[in-house]
Amino acid sequence: MTSKLRLSDLRKIIAEETRRALLEAEKPQQEKGEDSLDAQVDQFLMNYEVEGKHAKNEGKDFRSFVRRFLREAEEGEEDETEGDEADATSAEQKKLTIEDLDIGTFTDNVVRLVDNYDSLLEVRNTILRRAANFLLKGYDADVVDSFKEMLMERHGLEIGQSKYDHEAEEFQPPTADRAGVSPGSS
């Protein structure tokens, strides 16, 4: 059985691919530190949505898709200028259905985020960044610098440093020359 893809479906796929490419282009800026947990979660959800849509469309027959697309393009060349405006407004108003998303893939990814949120989301750093930004809005830079110094002196925390980085610095293994003889070796 072959599935046929309509021109409107092709537009959805192209729009989704463009959206994904734009999100990936913005990703390096967000890796430096998102100031909101909501934004971090939303980023994961958008990626899960793209993955779910791709999983749903994997079984489409590419040859029939190309044939139908070319056939519709030839037939619709005259209608295209008038139809573009109508399609754009209807696409904005039309919500996607269960046929557009592999809900199982999406659900599995969300559950993985829920189970591993502590390693996937930067909760500690986000709170510290938000606190520094809060102070920066109402106070001068000296207050923010004092806040950062006090975080380090009293609590051993540094903005931008993960919990793992902090623990790795705090509990470093001994160097080889100080390790000594291991028990049981002669």
* HEC-encoded secondary structure of 137-150: HHCCHHHHHHHHHH
Over residues 65-85, mean pLDDT: 60
pLDDT in tens, 106-147: 999 999 999 999 888 888 889 999 999 999 999 999 999 999
CA atoms of 36 and 93, how far apart (whole Å): 29
Return the closest-CA partner of residue 31 out of 168, 169, 160. Answer: 160
Over residues 99-103, mean pLDDT: 85
Whether 85 shows a pLDDT value over 60: the answer reads: no
pTM of the model: 0.52
pLDDT in tens, 154-174: 999 998 876 566 566 666 666
CA atoms of 161 and 128, how far apart (whole Å): 10
Q: Which H helix or E strand runs over 112?
A: helix 103-115
Q: 3-class DSSP state for residue 2?
A: coil
Q: Which H helix or E strand runs over 115?
A: helix 103-115
pLDDT for res 29: 34
Neighbour count for residue 108 (Cβ, 10 Å): 14
